[in-house]
Amino acid sequence: MRRFDGQRGRARSRWLVFAAVGALSAGAAWWLNGAPSARDASAAHSANVASTTQAPLASSSDPAARVQTEGALPASLVGSAPPHLPTDGRGHLAHTRAVRDFFDYFLTTQNEVSAATLDALVRRQIAAQLDGTPAADEALAVWPRYNAYRSALAQIPQAPAQNGAKMDLDALQLALDQRDALGTRFMGDWNEAFFGGESQRQHTDLARLRVASDTSLSDAQKTARLTALDAALPPEIRAVRERAQQQQASIDAISRAQMQAQKQGASPEALRAQITQTLGPEAAERVVQMQQADNAWQARYADYATQRAQIDKQDLPPQQREAQIAQLRQHFFANPSDAMRAASLDRSSGS
């Protein structure tokens, strides 16, 4: 149990750090991981879910059926809003990454609802935003192409990224080239909008890895080549890279402050003072508020776990046990994202 508590504590720290700084780019999940899984892509809307008033869970015991019959959002999306589908001012769908973000938002539910339900949901949401415009038909045409691309990508054998203790850079190059080819084949004129910037960043990252691992280069030569690679990037991609570096530095600073405060048993005021020194008062106040909110959530989870243990002692049939635990969880966690977090902790603890 001690080991689990330690793991849970580290997970809580990571959760607070990421929530305090802001959601990282969902595109990073594509590096060597293929199409985004429900877990990966959920980062794209988790911050929105956390900051929006949540609706209570529906009374239906079958969320997938409720989505299909009522046209409601799946439980994991309740309280958040779909990304906006952009148009070009003349009623046509704009060729931008935002279109992929719209589809990825709904693809986070692919393990929650059936493929048919997901397809119907996306089509309804397209109509809700674009009905009566040429952009609606254009979005409906892009959606199956994106699904076909994802299906083809999943069929590619995944070459090992490691060759013993060394990264297999040739295997990484092959994986990137295969993805680029599938993007061209299935997405056509949408390929650049969906994957262009991401692909360029990944190829640049791979080139940086090759430079860093080239033992024939001196440190000065490596620095010069890495600088040249960054300079060759378009301004918008350089800006993304710089924001990511700044964000990572902020995450590291907050994490160090939190770990130090936890070791010292510091008060919220001490934690606020430590983070204020590195990131300023606004970030410090936000971290402290989220720490306090998380402490309250953990206390609520402890009460829930105590009552859940009483259900476990009743030796009920599995289906009846799960139904009672689901009802108990909904009682303690009306917010769907809180309920999912509690269920995740249940699974982690083997409950």
For 279-307, the DSSP string reads: H-HHHHHHHHHHHHHHHHHHHHHHHHHHH
> 273 falls in which pLDDT band (50, 70, 90)?
confident
- Evaluate whether residue 162 is within a structural domain: no
Of the listed ranges 72-76, 134-138, 252-256, 345-349, the least confidently predicted one is: 252-256
20, 254 Cβ separation under 8 angstroms: yes
> 233 falls in which pLDDT band (50, 70, 90)?
confident
- Evaluate whether residue 135 is within a structural domain: yes
- Evaluate whether residue 160 is within a structural domain: no
CA distances from 250 to 19, 24, 280, 281 (A): 12, 12, 11, 13
334 and 251 in a common domain: yes
pLDDT for residue 20 is more than 60: no
**What domain count does the chain have?**
3
pLDDT digits (tens, 9 = 90+) for 35-67: 343 333 434 343 343 333 333 333 334 444 444
Domain that holds residue 104: 74-155
- Evaluate whether residue 67 is within a structural domain: no
Distance CA 47, CA 50 (A): 5
Distance CA 247, CA 196 (A): 23
- Evaluate whether residue 299 is within a structural domain: yes
**Average pLDDT rounded to a whole number, residues 154-163:** 72
Question: Percentage of residues in the chain with pLDDT exceeding 70?
Answer: 75
247 and 329 in a common domain: yes
| Residue at a domain's end among 209, 231, 253 | 231
Question: Percentage of residues in the chain with pLDDT exceeding 90?
Answer: 37
> 222 falls in which pLDDT band (50, 70, 90)?
very high
| Residue at a domain's end among 196, 231, 266 | 231
Mean of per-residue pLDDT scores for the chain = 77
- Evaluate whether residue 39 is within a structural domain: no
pLDDT for residue 119 is more than 90: yes
| Residue at a domain's end among 213, 231, 249 | 231
pLDDT for residue 269 is more than 70: yes
Tokens of 153: 């990508």
252 and 227 in a common domain: no
**Average pLDDT rounded to a whole number, residues 290-302:** 85
244 and 345 in a common domain: yes
pLDDT for residue 2 is more than 60: no
190 and 136 in a common domain: no
- Evaluate whether residue 12 is within a structural domain: no
173 and 146 in a common domain: no
180 and 129 in a common domain: no
Top-confidence range, 49-58, 83-92, 163-172, 316-325:
83-92
* pTM of the entire predicted model: 0.56
> 29 falls in which pLDDT band (50, 70, 90)?
very low
Task: Return the residue matching tokens 């949901």.
Answer: 121
Q: Residue 182 has what pLDDT?
A: 96
177 and 137 in a common domain: no
Q: Residue 134 has what pLDDT?
A: 97
Query: Cβ of 344: how many Cβ atoms within 10 Å?
Result: 11
pLDDT digits (tens, 9 = 90+) for 193-221: 999 988 988 998 899 999 999 999 999 99
Tokens of 278: 């590195």
244 and 206 in a common domain: no
85, 98 Cβ separation under 8 angstroms: yes
133, 88 Cβ separation under 8 angstroms: no
Distance CA 250, CA 61 (A): 42
Q: Residue 211 has what pLDDT?
A: 94
Distance CA 276, CA 52 (A): 26
Q: Residue 345 has what pLDDT?
A: 86
344 and 252 in a common domain: yes
- Evaluate whether residue 26 is within a structural domain: no
247 and 341 in a common domain: yes
Amino acid 281 reads P
What is the three-class DSSP state of 167? strand
CA distances from 326 to 67, 159, 333 (A): 18, 41, 10
